[in-house]
Chains A and B, each alone.
Chain A
Amino acid sequence: MINNSENKINPIFTAMSGIDDNIISESVKPRKNRVKLTIMISAAAAALALVTGASANWFMKDKILVDEKPAFELNLKVTDVNEISDEELNRWGAVLGDNGIWSKTALPGEVFGKFGVSPLMTDKFEEQQSEILIDIDESSLQLKTCKFLNTSTGKIINYSVLIQTDEKFGLTSGINSEYSPEVITLNNGEKALLYKFYSKLSGGDNVLARFTNGGMYYELKVDNSSFDEMKQILADLGIL
């Protein structure tokens, strides 16, 4: 017997896990005629900016919570980002797959360049190929992850950037002490959250860093790592 009242799981919600495959597949197929090739942009952003008179200096606040208490605020700035047309995508040789747009030839820096943005990067990182670079679903918090090799530590960095021009994306989800969080101060006075969890897949601790810099939100993840190693990586990025 499943006691649904204990954790308030609705029976329909639970039973939806067993619906026919064709229904699920039908729902995950993108509506290709409305794909917008942008990084986390929606039309609402522009509308909101017009209504509020917001400028490029408009900062939106969100919080990092540790044990349900605010640890620090994130500074997410409205940022101008290029839109990329379908035609340009085709010229570029990118592939539209079921789960995103990816390219076997384009490097992350190239992609960022297409969008006209310049996230943190130094010559202590080498770009890696063959990643899904752009989500089709640009409206939910699914950060794009590309990979860089950090030459100091020899580790692959799973590197995600959120450039937010829309309303809040629910970045307030907190973490608790189970993940041994540590809040550090970056060179520019902003904070970063470091935390780790054991991964059965990597067989060790995966370490993450979450912070904002220059109005962009970053999540860096390194498998089989440590806080010291992550700090080295942040130093190599020039922010610690």
Chain B
Amino acid sequence: MDDKQIIALLNERKEEGLSELKQKYNRLILKVLRGILDSSQDVEECADDVLLDVWDRIPPDDPNDLAAYVCKIARRRSIDKFRYNTAECRNKELITELDECIPSGISVEEQDYGELSKLLSKWLNSLDKCSRRLFTLRYFFGDTVKNSAKECGISQTAASSTLMRLRQKLKIFLTERGYFND
């Protein structure tokens, strides 16, 4: 079933829409959750919550890109779980890598996250496709460097060095725009 049909069913409040959504996107939801959360129980719980969130939000939401919409909800759910329920983050080294760029200890106003997301999008869209995909797989989906490298068709060593250069570039990009001065 295509995304428009699924959204139409959700708009009509038909539970078939939820089951079609689950059939089509459950694996993707699990990929996002498992990239961030360590515990399979947390993943299972969050997966159910993501489906319920989509059910609750459509309508009124009418996403143009259902896959991206579902990914974002899954990611936010997993971060909430990580933040509030002391869940274990699957990839601690992932956070450590980003800390080289911008330290975790810095407090950010809630409303500033939207602006930071826009800047990240702008920066990502300025990259070549391979670099953008590599960065997104690693820091949005929480994929391992090894898997991200495979997905991008490059070696793990090349992926590691590319990611390091990208983090350095991002640090400069954000610092130039007044974010997180040392």
Chain A nearest CB, measured from B119 CB (Å): 8
Whether A16 and B117, one on each chain, are in contact in the complex, defined by CB atoms closer than 8 angstroms, is yes
- Which of these, A17, A28, A175, contacts B41 with CB under 8 Å? A175
- What separation, in Å, do the CA atoms of A17 and B80 have in the docked complex? 11
Interface mask (A1-33 → B, CB under 8 Å = 1, otherwise 0)? 111110111111111111111111111100100
- Residues of A close to B88: CB separation below 8 A: 173
Chain B nearest CB, measured from A204 CB (Å): 12
Whether A13 and B109, one on each chain, are in contact in the complex, defined by CB atoms closer than 8 angstroms, is no
**A70 at the A/B interface (Cβ < 8 Å)?**
no
- Residues of A close to B150: CB separation below 8 A: 34, 139
Whether B44 and A206, one on each chain, are in contact in the complex, defined by CB atoms closer than 8 angstroms, is yes
Chain B nearest CB, measured from A90 CB (Å): 21
- Residues of A close to B63: CB separation below 8 A: 21
**A157 at the A/B interface (Cβ < 8 Å)?**
no
Most chain A beta carbons < 10 A, residue from B41, B44, B51, B117: B41
- Which of these, A12, A24, A179, A202, contacts B67 with CB under 8 Å? A24
- Residues of A close to B108: CB separation below 8 A: 2, 4, 11, 14-15
Q: Chain B contact residues (Cβ within 8 angstroms of A): what range?
A: 35 or more
Chain A nearest CB, measured from B5 CB (Å): 14
**B168 at the A/B interface (Cβ < 8 Å)?**
no
Q: Chain A contact residues (Cβ within 8 angstroms of B): what range?
A: 35 or more
Interface mask (B142-168 → A, CB under 8 Å = 1, otherwise 0)? 011011001101000000000000000
B110 to chain A: closest residue by CB: A2
If the complex has contacts A14-B79, A16-B120, are A130 and B48 also in contact, measured as CB distance less than 8 A?
no
Chain A residues in contact with chain B, CB under 8 A? 1-5, 7-28, 31, 34, 97-100, 130-132, 135, 137, 139-142, 170, 173-175, 178-179, 195, 197, 199-202, 206, 208, 221
A-B contact pairs, 8 of them (CB 8 A): A9-B82, A10-B99, A12-B120, A15-B117, A17-B72, A18-B120, A19-B120, A98-B28
Q: What 4 A-B pairs come out closest when comparing CB atoms? A: A18-B117, A21-B68, A15-B116, A24-B68
Chain B residues in contact with chain A, CB under 8 A? 23-28, 30-31, 34-35, 38-41, 44-45, 48-49, 51-52, 63-65, 67-69, 71-72, 75-76, 79, 82-83, 86, 88, 90, 94-95, 98-99, 101-110, 113-114, 116-118, 120-121, 124-125, 129, 132-133, 136-137, 139-141, 143-144, 146-147, 150-151, 153, 170, 180
